[in-house]
């Protein structure tokens, strides 16, 4: 099991791409051979993994110190088939999947601080 934010992101990004492929194959069976059950099953599986990908992006962007535009690109890459793998490789080449050592608070740390100050 992954132990880092980047590891979790990679795992979910690759799973999202595989679920896309499974859904596309199921759609070929449904519309080509008239077998709709595959889309029912793979649609549900893909929807679950798609949601996990979006949640994972929202969780890891802060510890990985992604800029907002990188987060938006990660989220948009969940829509086209296999684009999440492209994004993972792109981010890895640019060093965006390494956790920088910084004493500056993360985005979620700032949100937590702001919520405490409101009370």
Quote the pLDDT of residue 52.
Answer: 96
Q: Which parts of 61-106 fold into alpha helices (H)? A: 68-76, 83-93
Quote the pLDDT of residue 76.
Answer: 96
Q: Residue 12 above 80 pLDDT?
A: yes
Q: For residue 13, give the nearest of 98, 100, 86, 92 by alpha carbon.
A: 86
| pLDDT per position as a tens digit, 61-99 | 988 989 999 999 999 999 998 999 999 999 999 999 887
Q: Are 38 and 26 in contact (CB under 8 A)?
A: yes
Quote the pLDDT of residue 86.
Answer: 95
| pLDDT per position as a tens digit, 18-40 | 999 999 999 999 999 888 888 89
CA separation for the pair 98, 92 (Å, rounded): 8
Six-digit token string for 80: 């086209």
Q: In which residue are the tokens 């799973």 written? A: 15
């Amino acid at each position: 099991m992954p132990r880092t934010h980047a590891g979790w992101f990679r795992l979910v990004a690759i799973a999202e791409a595989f679920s896309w492929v499974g859904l596309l194959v199921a759609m070929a069976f449904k519309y080509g051979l008239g077998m709709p059950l595959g889309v029912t099953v793979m649609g549900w599986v893909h929807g679950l993994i798609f949601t996990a990908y979006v949640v994972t992006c929202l969780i890891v962007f802060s510890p990985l110190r992604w800029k907002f535009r990188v987060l938006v690109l990660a989220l948009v890459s969940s829509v086209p088939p296999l684009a999440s793998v492209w994004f993972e490789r792109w981010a890895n080449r640019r060093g965006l999947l390494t956790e920088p050592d910084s004493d500056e608070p993360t985005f979620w740390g700032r949100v937590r601080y702001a919520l405490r100050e409101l009370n």
